[in-house]
Amino acid sequence: MAMSGFEGFEKRLELHFSGDDPVNGISLRQLDFESIEEVLHAVQCTVVSAVGNQYFDAYVLSESSLFVYPTKIIIKTCGTTQLLKSICPLLHLACDIGLTLSVCRYTRGSFIFPKAQPYPHSSFKEEVIYLEESLPSHLCYRKASVMPSKMSSHSWHVFSACDESHMLMQNFESDHQDFFTIEVCMTELDRVLARKFYRHPNDGKNGDTAGKEMTEITGIVDINPNALICDFAFDPCGYSMNGIDNDRYSTIHVTPEDGFSYASFEFVGSIYDDHNAIVEVLKKVVQVFRPGTMSVATTSTGHEAWTKVASAVEPVGMKCRSCTVDEFPAAGTVVFQTFTPRRK
């Protein structure tokens, strides 16, 4: 393995806010672009492309993605970005428009190059201390856990916190319980397939045009044909895309370099979706990357979306090697599964 290289594994932060009077149309989407740029400056990344619809705004970043909904923000960054440094500026901006933090969730896999990570990301312990100190005291239900797998190289780190009202909501049926999030991390990508995420030298194209081409030739375009795709190809290699489909996002990030190749895929599903839809999506993702190792974290409130994962990827040659389950405040149940090709 390379001594060092680009860190593909992302850190992911999800923040939910509530206002005293949600009816009067207060929305995080009102934040001006300069404010968003300031938050990203603290994290050490920038916006390279953006798209929005009536439900939310999706930004492709120099290191991954940002999604802004009226009362929810999801920010996912790779490399040596300092993601948790976005919390304080985001809380200030939200406060200025009358929104208060109600739920915080932080997740990540295991870094390929942990020693290259800057403060506060040099260890999960350090991240948890930083989170504990950054969050307002009314987020009083908190839990941090590392979910293991059979492979030391893949474990899932989760920190979740919420206020009293969301702890109560977890005990009742509510809208947010109809959705689940699936986060897929893939390493040791098929070398031939990974080459498709390299640009030709001096191709004369910009990142958007080259990105659109990669989306087509890799088959990513077929993963969700209904999504509006905002894509970007980096120079000399690397790829990011956000898909927007009504009120749901999907996102893919690829670091194709040999020795530390990595790809991630994340999407939101609903329990009312056709169950075949999850299966087809995950099947296509495996076929685009053919990873040597793959982890899938499914976050949901109580229903069985995670059971579809194995039935999706086993027909395309993957075998489940481990499965861990844990419960978190406001996040619900997290199921962490790992897969490798059957031939291993």
CB 19 within 8 A of CB 95: no
Kindly name the residue from 16, 157, 166, 253 that is annotated as catalytic: 253
Active site residue 240: yes
Kindly name the residue from 45, 78, 104, 162 that is annotated as catalytic: 78
The encoded tokens of residue 195 equal 């080459």
Active site residue 166: no
Cβ-proximal residues to 234 (8 Å cutoff; 6+ apart), any chain = 199, 207, 240
Active site residue 104: no
Residue 216 marked in a binding site = no
Residue 56 marked in a binding site = no
Kindly name the residue from 86, 102, 149, 240 that is annotated as catalytic: 240
Residue 266 marked in a binding site = no
Active site residue 45: no
- Cα separation of 279 and 287, whole Å? 12
Kindly name the residue from 45, 64, 86, 104 that is annotated as catalytic: 64
Where is the binding site for substrate, in residues? 6, 63, 234, 257
Where is the binding site, in residues? 6, 63, 234, 257
Give the residue numbers annotated as catalytic, written as ranges: 64, 78, 240, 253
